Amino acid sequence: MNDDDLLRYSRQIMLEQIDIAGQERLLAGHALVIGAGGLGSPVALYLAAAGVGRLTLADADAVELSNLQRQIAHGQADIGRNKAESAREAACALNPGCRVEAVTEHLEGAALASMVAAADVVLDCTDRFSSRYAINAACRAAGVPLVSGAAIRFSGQLAVFDPRDPECPCYACLYPPGEEGDEELRCAENGVVAPLVGLIGCFQALEAIKLLSGAGTPQGGLSTFDGLTGQWRHFRVPKDPACPVCG
């Protein structure tokens, strides 16, 4: 780190759980953020600001007017632009020292596996079960920690799955394939209050920073947030011996 880095990240370096060594680990870290919408926007901005050295932002969608109510990495002038490109520009404006790559196609198959294997942590900021299952399987195969978030209406969810821990469950343990329900809850059809995605996305960024820097203990199990009451609930999720992914 040079003098500018020491000043930029001084408030984190002051923390004994991070210190110089943890900040250097952040600067050397690589986070893959899949989805640059409501969750991915605060994730990308906070990880860049905190000094994660390399970010890969993946999203095939374009910015729409209805996104601007909550997807804070994008502005009015970004309507019609690819979300990953728009978020990359916003992250670089916050921290030019952060290397940010935009992937403008839907990640699946070999491309998804390759991107996941190259990362130190993956943040699932998508809103489809099919994507979440594919990302979870790729993270399990590559042994890369996964930080999963979801937000709909006034309800949010957060979970961290770390395949390096043999006792840690995976996303498919929590939501077995075929049992997720007939309809996916998505913002486009069900609505979401604007700050909720920011709150869950910020917690995803916090968990990723902890994983990359070595600060503290990653959140375990499943945490749910009720935006109407302001209450968090925490649930222990056991590893499913019959899980088709990690069992």
For the beta sheet containing 231-235, the strands, ordered from the edge strand earlier in sequence to the opposite edge, are: 99-103, 54-58, 30-34, 121-124, 146-152, 155-161, 222-226, 231-235
Angle, alpha carbons 48-52-58 (nearest 5°): 65
Sign of CA dihedral 34, 40, 43, 47: positive
- Lookup result for tokens 């979401």: 192
- Lookup result for tokens 């079960």: 129
User: Average pLDDT over the chain, rounded to whole?
Assistant: 94
* Residue 165 burial (CB count, 10 A): 13
Distance spanning both ends of the chain, measured CA to CA: 42
Burial class (CB in 10 A: 0-12, 13-18, 19+), 196: buried
Note the CATH number of domain 3-235: 3.40.50.720
| Amino acid of residue 215 | A
Q: What is the mean pLDDT of the segment spanning 190-198?
A: 93
CB 67 within 8 Å of CB 74: yes
Closest CA to 107 of 99, 96, 116: 116
CB 95 within 8 Å of CB 49: yes
The DSSP code for 221 is: S
DSSP characters over 209-231? HHHHHT-S----SEEEEETTTTE
Asked whether residue 137 carries a pLDDT value surpassing 90, the answer given is yes
Q: What is the pLDDT of residues 206-246, one digit of tens each?
A: 999 999 999 988 877 899 999 999 999 999 999 999 999 99
By residue count, the chain amounts to 247
Q: What is the pLDDT of residues 55-95, one digit of tens each?
A: 999 999 999 999 999 999 999 999 999 999 999 999 999 99
